[in-house]
Amino acid sequence: METIYHILLPIYDANSRILILGTFPSPKSRAQGFYYGHPQNRFWHVLSTVLQEPLPTSIEEKRAMLLRRGIALWDVLASCKITGAADSSIHDPVANDFTPIFAAADIRAVFTTGRVAAKFYTRLCGSGCICLPSPSPANCAMPFSALAEAYRAILPYLLQPLP
């Protein structure tokens, strides 16, 4: 198994208030050059629902929604050995360096999009996080309404929380 390196830049600015971390970009995301690129991944649909924003379709719209709402986005791992998109197949994980994000922004909370991301963040970075359910197609048994309800946990931490 070959080591794969993370090629996507983090999304953040000085107004970011939360950091949402996936584990590692899927092959579809790496091919598209942006996060949560699998057409059946529910991340963008869930986030836009929770934020009461129109569903972003382009990379520019997704990036703009994140920054407008105070959300930083990246992945826990800088490199790993992985088979396809299966987080369970990860070996030899190396964490990203989050120092630039924490130096630039007043991050109030770190969230992960699944248990594997939470496990690697806690183990490799030595910090706690709030684990959200995975929006991936592998977690399709969770109804959309339950997924959206779980993601409402981000709202109190945002720059402009919803009522």
Q: What is the CATH number of the domain that holds 57?
A: 3.40.470.10
Q: Residue 120 belongs to what domain range?
A: 3-157
Least confident of 9-13, 92-96, 157-161: 157-161
Encode pLDDT of 31-73 as tens digits. 899 999 888 899 999 999 999 999 999 999 999 999 999 999 9
According to DSSP, the β-strands at 109-113 and 91-95 are unpaired
Ramachandran angles phi, psi of 131, nearest 5°? -90, 120
Instruction: Please give the tally of structural domains in the chain.
Output: 1
Asked, for residue 126, whether it belongs to a domain, the answer is: yes
- Tell whether pTM > 0.85: yes
